[in-house]
Amino acid sequence: MRKQIVLLIVVVFLVLRPMGGQVAGSHPFPKLHALGPQVKLFNNYSKDFEAMEEPLHHGEELEVLEFLHQAAKTAEDRLYALDAELRMYDSVSCRPDRDNLRIILKGQLEYYSWLFDSEVTRITGGLTFTKMPAAAQAGLRMKDDLRAAKDKLDAISASLD
């Protein structure tokens, strides 16, 4: 039984290796389209802000941290949704379907890019109310990472042309 399993693994490896691990007819997932690292990054920001909220029970500082926490969580959710859409788009091999999806996907990318740009402005305003150095530093880093995510969405959108 063990020999059969090993033989099956070797056969699968040899069959898939010439195709680069891709199923025949599918499109490889471009690295440009991968948003997983950004999803993880904003998940970490969310956890950090949530941890900073714990010792606080009320006040302006708590409100700022809740705002930053929610902004990070929202960015994470949006990037996760876009990552799923990009994976679906990249798995479609039928040219007419792919062309139709491209229009929808470009619209979503442009919309989320605009939202991220707006969020940067909101975070800039929110950071003026924080007195915690750690929250201010994390908020500034998150603001920069939101700009970088916006730029990545713009680059992905441009690559779909």
Is 79 a member of any domain?
yes
Residue range of the domain that includes 131 = 29-159
Q: Is residue 71 part of a domain?
A: yes
- The answer to whether position 54 is within a domain reads yes
Q: Please compute the mean of the pLDDT values over residues 126-131 and round it to a whole number.
A: 90
Task: Please indicate, yes or no, if residue 90 is contained in any of the structural domains.
Answer: yes
User: Quick one: tokens of 96?
Assistant: 């007419």
- pLDDT of 21 reads 39
The pLDDT, as a whole number, for residue 102 is 92
d(CA 17, CA 68): 45
Q: Answer whether residue 66 is part of any domain.
A: yes
Q: What is the pLDDT of residue 160?
A: 86
Structure tokens at 144: 């920069």
Tell me the CA distances in angstroms from 16 to 3, 51, 99, one per residue in order.
20, 45, 28
pLDDT value, residue 55: 85
pLDDT at 7: 47
Q: Is residue 37 part of a domain?
A: yes
36 belongs to a structural domain:
yes
**Residue 59: CB partners within 8 Å, gap ≥ 6?**
none
Domains of the chain: total: 1
Q: Is residue 15 part of a domain?
A: no
